[in-house]
């Protein structure tokens, strides 16, 4: 929880009850005639998540009585959030305006865009989700793991569709290129102009270096585009990204040159590439075994939706790879990030029940390194290499391409869409800032750009002005930990961090309060501090200190337990630090008998 954000509620303080509800349903300013109403002739754009991180993307567009939400993603935990499963956007602002929500538009099926859905739909009134066929299937698949979550209402949309959302919005959809099929961009028509949100997108360049599939951008560029919300993930990367076509060409070349088995680790979300790998395998008459739960499940969904049609005999079970010659096998698996329980890591650490590496095997890591995973990936490479496999990774050959536009692609998108105002989203502040400089570079005036300074920044756009309000929407971390959503507070995390450094030291003293005398010897329970078997002297001395402290209080009537505890905490803590230079959490427990 690095940035404390101010809790802000647009409803004036003290105003509750019927009138407040009335205001929510029928806000002032619908006809736009008086000064108060005049202020409503502005669109509010609020990134509730994804403006300070890669992940938990969620941006809302609010105009008059209507709110539309783009995406509901999750973020993976950080070093500062030990034990946490996920971090999701803070939806307080939306919860207070449930009745205004006209829909949740999901751009594509990756977890940083759909992952928060099971946790927050109930809280925001379960609005209708608008998304494409594959994304819908992926959302529903994930929802199966949450039997108590409400039934989702999903309306399927496709490129070219136009739907009315509330009184003021019409959403139009257009195809974009990412690493997963059925990714879609949205343009929301408003009385002030279009708000465009491509989601995650890249522009593929062909071998001549020409951009491809840009017709829809160019067409949309002819409209009255008020605001472009553009992702910033790769804004710091110069030039253009490697094309997915190049990656597939390189993979085919490596496949042809590999004498024995080929094992490819990639992200399970990289569905387009996996489909291409299967196609190449068919061309080279190799069988494909897919390993890893999420990957198998994604490919199943894509097959079921007829997004690709492998030959019946192409895909085999991992259990049966032994039935075919080694030169006929391709294994596509999860774990290229060195995730502990994933397929490739189990292969590397000799824990896979069906796949043992042989010398002569080629292992391709067809993925980039997600920051934070460097050490696990190093470990993975080391263990694969120890077993004699040949390892090809993205730093030595172009076997991976990002799905996110590099700076020149971002500039091209801005130039094609010609928005009046520009708001960079998706990324850390520095990436957003860098993206804003790209926009300036292609002619968007500085005054027409608003860089969200943090999540929850409220950006107001009128016909001719963009500005960030002083108020912010609540945006502090909402953490998912087991069944708890948002119940893990800062104090719990701080305790976990402290416990992980020097452990805990619990002292239990039974005191006869009649005489203020300690009964027997205090019990000590310690974990994560020292190796107890070799620390008997230390424990003995700690017990002695406790006895001494109790003895000193022999004449205190009544015995002040809190004073005693503080005393024990302080003096034992000091002793332990002096002897070990460690500071375990010291917890005295006094049992009065």
Q: Residues interacting with a copy of itself, by CB under 8 A? A: 2, 52, 78-79, 82-83, 236, 238, 371-372, 374-375, 378-379, 381-383, 385-386, 391, 395-396, 428-430, 433, 453, 481-484, 487-489, 491-493, 495-504, 506, 508, 510, 519, 523, 525, 527-531, 534, 579-582, 585, 587, 589, 591, 593
CB closer to a copy of itself out of 91 and 234:
234
Give the angle subtended at the CA of 234 by the CAs of 231 and 238, to the nearest 5°.
Answer: 130
Q: How far is the CB of 163 from a copy of itself (least distance, A)?
A: 37
Residue carrying the six token digits 């939306």: 94
Give the span between the Cα atoms of 368 and 374, in whole angstroms: 10
Dihedral angle, C-alpha 486, 490, 493, 499, nearest 10 °: -150
Our CB check for a copy of itself shows the closer of 168 and 250 to be 250
> With respect to a copy of itself, which residue has the nearer C-beta, 306 or 534?
534
- Sheet strands (E) in 262-307: 262-265, 287-291
CB of 518: closest distance to a copy of itself in angstroms? 12
The CA-based dihedral angle spanning residues 415, 420, 423, 426, taken in that order and rounded to the nearest 10 degrees = -40
Shortest distance in whole angstroms from residue 366 CB to a copy of itself: 17
Counting Cβ atoms within 10 Å, is residue 1 exposed (0-12), middle (13-18) or buried (19+)?
middle
Beta carbon of residue 380, minimum distance to a copy of itself (angstroms, whole number): 9
Query: b/e map of 92-130 (b: 16 or more CB within 10 Å)?
Result: bbbebbeebbbbbbbbbbbbbbbbbbbbbbeebebbebb
Among 466, 461, 477, 459, CA closest to 47: 459
Q: Is the dihedral of CA 145, 150, 155, 157 positive or negative?
A: negative
The H or E element spanning position 188 is: strand 184-190
Residue 113 beta carbon to a copy of itself: minimum distance, rounded to whole angstroms: 21
Q: Write down the least CB distance from residue 386 to a copy of itself, Å.
A: 6
**What minimum distance in Å lies between the beta carbon of 435 and a copy of itself?**
12
Of 218 and 525, CB closest to a copy of itself = 525
Q: How far apart are CA 195 and CA 48, in angstroms?
A: 17
Q: How far is the CB of 70 from a copy of itself (least distance, A)?
A: 23
Q: Considering the complex, what minimum distance in angstroms separates the CB of residue 198 from a copy of itself?
A: 24
Closer Cβ to a copy of itself, 305 or 499, answer by number: 499
Which CB atom, from 319 or from 501, has the smaller least distance to a copy of itself?
A: 501
Contact 195, 387 (CB under 8 A): no
Whether the Cβ atoms of residue 161 and residue 177 lie closer than 8 Å to each other: no
The whole-angstrom separation of Cα 152 and Cα 143 is 9
Q: How far is the CB of 247 from a copy of itself (least distance, A)?
A: 19
Q: Which is nearer to a copy of itself, 373 or 462 (CB)?
A: 373
Minimum separation from the CB atom of position 565 to a copy of itself (A): 11
Could you identify the residue written with the tokens 């950006």?
459
Q: Which is nearer to a copy of itself, 299 or 542 (CB)?
A: 542
Q: For residue 186, what are the β-bridge partners?
A: 173, 197
Half-sphere exposure of 438 (CA within 13 A, CB side): 28
In the structure encoding, which two tokens stand for residue 477, read together?
A: 């971390």
- CB count in 10 Å sphere of residue 84: 21
Query: Mapping DSSP to helix (H, G, I), strand (E, B) and coil, where does residue 491 land?
Result: helix
When the beta carbons of 230 and 485 are compared against a copy of itself, the nearer one is 485
Nearer to a copy of itself, 464 or 537 (CB): 537
- Choose between 24 and 580: whose C-beta lies nearer to a copy of itself: 580
d(CA 245, CA 257): 19
Provide, rounded to whole angstroms, the least separation between the CB of residue 277 and a copy of itself: 24
d(C-alpha 426, C-alpha 16), whole Å:
35
Residues 93, 99: Cα–Cα separation, whole Å: 12
Closest CA to 155 of 177, 142, 167, 171: 171
Rounded CA separation 57/50 (Å): 4
- In this complex, which beta carbon is closest to a copy of itself, that of residue 309 or of residue 386? 386
Quote the least distance from Cβ 483 to a copy of itself, whole Å.
5
CB 572, CB 586: distance < 8 Å = yes
CA-to-CA distance for 187 and 169, rounded, in angstroms?
10
Q: Which is nearer to a copy of itself, 453 or 469 (CB)?
A: 453
> In terms of Cα–Cα distance, which of 318, 383, 390, 382 is closest to 355?
318
């Amino acid at each position: 929880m690095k940035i404390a954000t101010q809790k802000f509620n647009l409803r004036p303080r003290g105003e509750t009850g019927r009138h407040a509800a009335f205001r929510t349903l029928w806000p002032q300013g619908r006809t736009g005639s008086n000064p108060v109403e005049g202020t409503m002739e502005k669109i509010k754009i609020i990134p509730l998540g994804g403006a300070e991180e890669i992940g938990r993307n969620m941006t809302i567009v609010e105009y008059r009585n209507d709110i539309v939400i783009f995406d509901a993603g999750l973020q993976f935990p950080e070093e500062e959030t030990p034990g946490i499963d996920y971090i999701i956007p803070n939806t307080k602002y939306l919860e207070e305006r449930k009745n205004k929500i006209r829909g949740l538009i999901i751009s594509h099926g990756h977890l940083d865009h759909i992952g928060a859905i099971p946790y927050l739909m109930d809280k925001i009134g379960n609005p209708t989700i608008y998304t494409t066929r594959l994304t819908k299937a992926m959302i529903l698949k994930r929802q199966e793991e949450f039997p108590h979550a409400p039934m989702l209402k999903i309306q399927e949309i496709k490129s070219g569709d136009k739907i009315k959302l509330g009184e003021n919005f019409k959403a139009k959809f257009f195809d974009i290129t990412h690493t997963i099929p059925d990714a879609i961009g949205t343009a929301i028509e408003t009385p002030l102009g279009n708000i465009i949100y491509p989601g995650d997108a890249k522009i593929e360049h062909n071998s001549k270096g020409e951009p491809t599939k840009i017709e829809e951008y160019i067409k949309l560029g002819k409209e009255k585009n008020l605001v472009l919300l553009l992702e910033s993930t790769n804004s710091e990367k110069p030039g253009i990204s490697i094309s997915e076509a190049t990656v597939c060409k390189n993979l085919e070349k490596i496949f042809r040159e590999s004498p024995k088995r080929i094992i490819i680790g990639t992200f399970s979300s990289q569905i387009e590439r996996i489909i291409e790998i299967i196609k190449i395998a068919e061309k080279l008459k190799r069988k494909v075994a897919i390993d890893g739960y999420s990957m198998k499940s994604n490919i199943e969904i894509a097959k079921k939706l007829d997004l690709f049609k492998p030959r019946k005999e192409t895909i085999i079970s991992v259990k049966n790879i032994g039935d075919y010659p080694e030169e006929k096998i391709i294994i596509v698996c999860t774990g290229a990030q060195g995730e502990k329980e994933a397929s490739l890591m189990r292969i590397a650490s000799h824990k896979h029940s069906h796949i043992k590496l042989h010398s002569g095997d080629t292992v391709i890591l067809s993925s980039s390194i997600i920051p934070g995973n460097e050490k696990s990936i190093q470990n993975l490479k080391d263990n694969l290499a120890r077993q004699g496999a040949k390892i090809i990774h993205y730093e030595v050959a172009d076997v991976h391409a990002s799905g996110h536009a590099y700076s020149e692609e971002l500039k091209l998108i801005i130039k094609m869409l010609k928005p009046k105002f520009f708001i960079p989203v998706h990324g850390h502040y520095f990436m957003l800032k860098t993206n804003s400089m790209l926009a300036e570079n292609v002619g968007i005036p500085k005054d027409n750009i608003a860089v969200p300074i943090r999540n929850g920044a409220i950006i107001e756009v009128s016909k001719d002005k963009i500005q960030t309000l002083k108020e912010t929407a609540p945006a502090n971390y909402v953490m998912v930990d087991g069944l708890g959503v948002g119940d893990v507070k800062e104090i719990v995390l701080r305790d976990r961090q402290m416990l992980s450094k020097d452990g805990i030291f619990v002292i239990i003293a039974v005191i006869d309060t009649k005489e203020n005398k300690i009964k027997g010897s205090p019990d000590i329970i310690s974990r994560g501090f020292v190796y107890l078997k070799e620390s008997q002297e230390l424990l003995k001395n700690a017990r002695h200190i406790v006895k001494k402290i109790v003895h000193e209080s022999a004449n205190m009537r009544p015995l002040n337990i809190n004073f005693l505890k503080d005393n024990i905490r302080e003096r034992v803590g000091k002793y332990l630090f002096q002897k070990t230079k460690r500071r375990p959490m010291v917890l005295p427990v006094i049992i009065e008998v």
